[in-house]
């Protein structure tokens, strides 16, 4: 019997199902890459255990974590920028001086596809070791057709090489490249007329993203990118309202964006547009922490409006060189007062929705057996302590990929 076809049984586990903690200890059985039985322990009858491998008792079971916003593929390091920022130079100032994202662009252009793959693999392995079973990986450090496609190919290869589902996002509109320094509209032409069609033709992008900000692209330019994405049947998302309020989120929502990400400066009109469109708010505490931002995302207003909130690492070389999803659970609670349950939902069910995988990131009968069992007593403990080594078991598509 293959590893996946085995029937596996966990007893007495506390289950966080992607949205809530179930009220009593459960027995869970998986088979054939799916969860086939989820019953309260007091309803469990012993004959259900027949033919099952006993996987253990107790602990906390969650869906495999969904990291819905990362920039894992890049060349070079930005340690020098980290030091400059500690001395008081701001992120926007560094970008204006041609550093920041553009310094990673230069290192990424210089790196071969194989070199980028080898650099990104241990980063992704770190996420996997912390419970991730689905990850989004963006391009955005190539900024030519050739180099953006190179990044997306690396992302696809990572998903083939490692036990994790990779969703790719084309972020051609991340920064204005040096060769278009005084012609950002010309660069948007390239993104719309060449980059998006090429990525779509090769099936390399699952979505299209933009950076709508003063140091990047205007609302009107981002809207052109969305129109091109729509013409190629690709869903859209946006980095918006991170450093100022330009209204990019409301525009993205009008185009049916899967998500608006960062959104520290989001206003009431933006929240209303997101609610109407059903867009997910992706909260990125790693960038807020690293950049020592002061403007908090409007968590209470999002909560009151019923806009789902996802949480992600934003793992990247500049604004969030943090490759530990469970740290984000802690930061988003500590910095923004999400409850631990909201944080966990943000990195499971709502993270999946931000990738267009609605209904995934759940533990329920029939769901994919992408799940984690943790050596903790309550789901809240995952956000409470920042402590590597608590992942007892990880299943990807029903296959056991990690066990201690
Ligand atoms: N905000 C824009 N883009 C990335 C940062 C990339 C970088 O600094 O290299 C982000 O999500 O934080
Ligand atoms: Zn980002």
Give the other-Cβ count within 10 Å of 144's Cβ.
16
Residue 345 phi, psi dihedral angles, 5° rounding:
-60, -35
User: pTM for the full model?
Assistant: 0.97
Please tell me whether 319 is known to bind a ligand.
Answer: yes
- Return d(Cα 21, Cα 38) in angstroms, integer: 13
CA 379–ligand 1 middle distance (angstroms): 30
- Return d(Cα 352, Cα 349) in angstroms, integer: 5
CA 262–ligand 1 middle distance (angstroms): 10
DSSP-assigned beta bridge partners for residue 11? 57
Pick out the chain residues at pLDDT < 70: 1-4
Nearest ligand atom owner, CA of 287: 1
- Return d(Cα 203, Cα 130) in angstroms, integer: 29
Burial classification of residue 86, based on how many CB atoms lie within 10 Å of its CB (0-12 exposed, 13-18 middle, 19 or more buried): exposed
Please tell me the predicted confidence (pLDDT) of residue 259. Answer: 98
Residue 310, classed as helix, strand or coil, is strand
Q: Which residues contact 91 (CB under 8 A, 6 or more apart)?
A: 85, 100, 243, 291, 318, 319
Ligand 1 pocket: which of 248, 287, 288, 315 to mutate (most atoms within 8 A of CB): 287
Q: Is 317's C-beta closer than 6 angstroms to any atom of ligand 1?
A: yes
CA 306–ligand 1 middle distance (angstroms): 27
CA 8–ligand 1 middle distance (angstroms): 41
Please tell me whether 368 is known to bind a ligand.
Answer: no
- Return d(Cα 20, Cα 95) in angstroms, integer: 41
Q: Is 314's C-beta closer than 6 angstroms to any atom of ligand 1?
A: yes
Nearest ligand atom owner, CA of 216: 1
pLDDT tens digits, one per residue of 303-329: 999 999 999 999 999 999 999 999 999
Q: Is 100's C-beta closer than 6 angstroms to any atom of ligand 1?
A: yes
Please tell me the predicted confidence (pLDDT) of residue 403. Answer: 80
Q: What is the ipTM of this complex?
A: 0.96
Q: Is 85's C-beta closer than 6 angstroms to any atom of ligand 1?
A: no
CA 328–ligand 1 middle distance (angstroms): 16
- Return d(Cα 330, Cα 380) in angstroms, integer: 10
Is the CB of residue 134 less than 8 Å from the CB of residue 66? Answer: yes
Element (H, E) at 56: strand 52-57
Alpha helices in 72-164 (DSSP H): 79-86, 91-96, 101-110, 113-129, 145-161
Is the CB of residue 13 less than 8 Å from the CB of residue 25? Answer: yes
Q: Is 104's C-beta closer than 6 angstroms to any atom of ligand 1?
A: yes
CA 394–ligand 1 middle distance (angstroms): 29
* Of residues 262, 324, 284, 294, the one with CA closest to residue 125: 324
């Amino acid at each position: 019997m293959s590893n996946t076809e085995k029937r596996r049984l966990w007893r007495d586990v506390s289950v966080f199902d992607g949205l809530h903690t179930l009220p009593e200890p459960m027995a869970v059985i998986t088979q054939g890459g799916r969860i086939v039985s989820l019953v309260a322990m007091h309803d469990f009858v012993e004959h259900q255990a027949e033919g099952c491998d006993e996987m253990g008792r107790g602990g906390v079971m969650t869906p495999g974590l969904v990291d819905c916003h990362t920039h894992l593929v890049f060349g070079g390091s930005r340690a020098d920028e980290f030091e400059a920022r500690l001395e008081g130079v701001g992120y926007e100032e560094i970008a204006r001086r041609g550093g920041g994202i553009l310094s990673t662009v230069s290192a990424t252009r210089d790196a071969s596809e194989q070199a980028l793959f080898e650099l990104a693999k241990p980063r992704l392995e770190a996420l996997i070791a912390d419970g991730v079973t689905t990850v989004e990986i963006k391009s955005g450090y190539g900024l030519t057709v050739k180099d953006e496609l190179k990044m997306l190919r690396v992302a696809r290869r990572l998903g083939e090489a490692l036990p994790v589902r990779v969703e790719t996002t084309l972020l051609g509109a991340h920064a204005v490249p040096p060769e278009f320094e005084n012609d950002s509209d010309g660069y948007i032409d390239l993104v719309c007329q060449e980059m998006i069609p090429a990525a779509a033709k090769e099936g390399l992008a699952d979505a299209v993203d933009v950076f709508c900000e003063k140091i990047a692209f205007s609302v009107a330019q981002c809207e052109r990118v969305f129109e091109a994405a729509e013409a190629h049947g690709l869903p859209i998302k946006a980095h918006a309202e991170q450093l100022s309020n330009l209204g990019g989120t409301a525009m993205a929502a009008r185009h049916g964006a899967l998500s608006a990400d960062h959104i520290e400066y989001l206003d009431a009109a933006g929240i209303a547009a997101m609610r109407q469109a059903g867009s997910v708010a992706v909260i990125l505490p790693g960038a807020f922490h690293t950049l020592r931002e002061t403007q908090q995302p409007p968590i209470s207003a999002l909560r009151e409006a019923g806009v789902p909130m996802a949480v992600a690492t934003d793992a990247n070389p500049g604004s969030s060189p943090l490759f530990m999803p469970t740290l984000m659970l802690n930061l988003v609670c500590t910095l923004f007062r999400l409850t631990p349950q909201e944080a966990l939902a943000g990195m499971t069910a709502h993270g999946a929705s931000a990738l267009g995988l609605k209904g995934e990131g759940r533990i329920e009968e029939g769901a994919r057996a992408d799940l984690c069992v943790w050596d903790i007593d309550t789901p809240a403990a995952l956000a409470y302590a920042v402590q590597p080594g608590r992942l007892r078991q990880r299943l990807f598509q029903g296959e056991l990929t990690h066990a201690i």
